[in-house]
Chain A
Amino acid sequence: MKKFIIKTVINNRKYELSVSPNQTLLDLLREELGLTGTKRGCEVGECGACTVLINGEAVNSCLVLAPQIDGKEVLTVEGLAEDGELHPLQKSFMKHDAVHCGYCTPGMIMSAKQLVEENPQPTEEEIRTAISGNLCRCTGYVQIVDAISEVQK
């Protein structure tokens, strides 16, 4: 099987990678690049645990083929903090007890990131919609919604 050479930017770092066609972006991140912050939850795009941003848009990395990120910019939870300073969403999630088992947290934060970038003052309904593709079994979502609403872009 032919491998593909792709050029991509992941977490603000340039990569030239050799990837297999049947490899998902999720596999590439976790198994090859060691970016295990992005979680595997269902592999059918229903749970959102594997959410990352491609060119600023939240996507399920289990439903993207690795070659498809050629020329694109990918941001994962590991790339959120800047210069050692946590992203305001990360701080707010900690403050509001929005993190329980933590398994949905990276994906949840990435979905929230797209929202706060595009909509500096989202309503509660808009927040609920933005994270409606991210399942959480522990928190009941209330503290997550609180954490996101406190973050102004």
Chain B
Amino acid sequence: MKQFEYINAKSIQEAAEILSVLKNEARIIAGGTDLLIELRRPNAKTPQTVVDITSVKELKGISESNGSIILKPLATHTEIHKSDLVKKFAGFLGEAASVIGAPQIRNRGTVGGNVMNAATCADTVPALIALGAKVTLHSVTATRTMPIVDFFIKPYKTKANADDILTEIKIPKLPSGAKSAFIKLGRRNALSISRLSVAAVLVQDKSGIITEARIVPGAALPTWMRVTEAERMLIGEKPTEKLFEAAGKKVSEVMISFTGRRWSTEYKEPVIGVLVRRALEKCIILLNEVRKNEC
């Protein structure tokens, strides 16, 4: 690694002030699981200063506030996976956090890093989109909050400015009775083809009719988004294999409408459909379990 200056910021304000001066010449480090890999590359652009925010207390923790989960950016994947609050109100986010990298990465890597780095394979992102999370960015000049779905432009590109610090991810709790699932293809990240994933949420009414559905594929679309065309097919229907298959097919159609057909499409097209169907089925299994317990 080439040389750089290092500042251990003690508050959001301090970090924001440094960024306001140095802008692109500074990079924030939290878990370091992405940044240090990047800086080690032979042709890396080395910043003048690395700003360590891991001592900033205001950026730590997972808490509850007015029907929302407040996820501070320094929450590690391990913390998210272990959080009872996440388990209870955003189950699939915990599942997604538990399959990122290996334990050493989950112990160190943060949700803030996952969001700000916006890598194609950032596993927490599909769930955060499905949850309708909002991100708050802070700089010396402004504090702004926006839906996370608007935050991403494309993989590795977000609306954050060089002087922005992510200070909070606010997640509306899933409605009571909702069940969620996260499914990822394969464990091996050897090729992008195997990074396909799906985050899904379903709510049923007492008669079993689906009243709400959310589907967000990972590594399939140019950026992360809910596939509303597929979601709409589910609303007002009772769950059947055929219905879920149709929803899956719709997701692959949407995928192809964006990406066109490439060498990998032959495989991705049917398989993303299968993953969607399985994620929805998993939600139903969880919903049925709840019902059984209620009876």
Contacts and interface: CB of A to CB of B under 8 A. Distances in A.
Given A57-B78, A65-B50, 4 more contacts: A21-B4, A57-B107, A58-B103, A65-B29
14 contacts: A1-B5, A2-B6, A20-B3, A21-B4, A45-B104, A45-B105, A48-B102, A58-B104, A59-B108, A60-B105, A63-B32, A63-B36, A64-B108, A133-B101
B2 A129 contact: no
A149 interface: no
Interface of B: 1-6, 8, 29, 31-33, 36-37, 39-40, 50, 52, 54, 78, 101-105, 107-108
Contacts of A133: 101-105
Contacts of A146: none
A60 B104 contact: yes
Name, among A22, A48, A132, A133, the residue most crowded by chain B CB atoms within 10 Å (CB to CB).
A22
Nearest to B37: A44
Nearest to B40: A43
A132 B37 contact: no
Q: Which DSSP category, helix, strand, loop or mixed, fits chain B's interface? A: mixed
A62 B4 CA distance: 17
A114 interface: yes
A48 B52 contact: no
Contacts of B29: 65, 68
A130 interface: yes
A45 B1 contact: no
Given A65-B52, A67-B8, A21 B3 contact: yes
A134 B108 CA distance: 15
A92 interface: no
A63 B113 CA distance: 14
Given A2-B5, A67-B6, A68-B54, A51 B32 contact: no
A59 B50 contact: no
A4 B103 contact: no
A67 B4 CA distance: 12
A60 B32 CA distance: 10
